[in-house]
Structure 1
């Protein structure tokens, strides 16, 4: 036992930590999605494969062996959405900004959302952040207009030919309207949410975009981020949440906190 411990190198510990971190991130990525059930199904197939070999069930063993022989291709097909989302997260640059949406733009978005909620006008407002939304921008009608509450309301009026789909805010401007967004396939979504909320969840699961959803049925305003829906009941809290998310404060590192503590406790001359 001691010999085995003594033979462990620093690189071995680093290797274990890296693999553990990757597994942890994968678990966070697939939590609450269909990928969990699919992983359980694959695990059961593997268990049945070994049991069929042990009990000499030749036909079943051969079928499962043939299936598992192409398991990598099966995994890529089944988990293509999760793999794409993971690669997007890895590809993010730590130096990118959250997006060019200032206080004026936030106020216009909140004003439009609250106006439409009171008048039961459904809306889907997408705010692009670090992850580019070019694939979805190209599905809509390009406007490239200044962000104004009145224009957003006009777009989502039921009589407007552009009210279907979502409006994407790119660099603080209304880039496109009528954009088609991916529907979430998460089976755990509350049944009371309709297509508009599912589209917001689907986009937030694949990108880091912020999505404001206005429901014409409940008159509620929801903010969707990272696959989570938060309902806001007044303009003040919605404005504060948007400002915080669009201009997040930098979290001090442990080293910065240590230097700050040393500075505060240092004796004054």
Structure 2
């Protein structure tokens, strides 16, 4: 009987759709998406389990699922014996301390002896223990941002993406404690066949990540500018250079990381590159 990877993802919530999109970009077609409990992949030996995100670390540790996609914050908080095998580059957020907007914040010592509401008590207690600050934790499962307004706590510790929810509830962010993103976790006791399947999946994920974080650019330039352009554009190994019909000119092809893109474009314009064409990359195999 063929082995199948069992991968757990959130049945709802901020990472659910992104996780399904990632599998789709990896060429994995899911037979149904009603998310009652599980779904089968039609063209890859995989079974998708739809679970609560805070249950995923335990299920992966116990081998109920082989893999899981969830936020690092849940991995840290649950502190289960699993491997983080890949940072996925989406679901970015931060876990921050916030207090009522009218309060004057005097630094981290502000929280000495105060009560803080959170869904992440382990992360928070570890942080304050390292700072030597004694706090009281009010652990709640949801709607953390209303805790100060109803007198339950003096401050909160929660996930922040844009900060708009804090503002709506009369709070201000005062300290970002840790940054988090979606990760792929794995059971530590996968057999050889499942490890091989995991490597195939990781190959696809990394090709997608590399492509989505890069731009393919094509430009025309006078031949005397090529050495300087090669310095600006190393590409994966070196730029591809093709002669144009017009003597003394060439077409240059390369790949640029998205976070460096505009600086590179400015530098290329300075060395007489023109007709610069920019294209998205769907996948990139190195």
User: What TM-score, normalized by structure 2, do the two folds share?
Assistant: 0.22
Structure richer in strand, relative to its length? 2
Structure richer in helix, relative to its length? 1
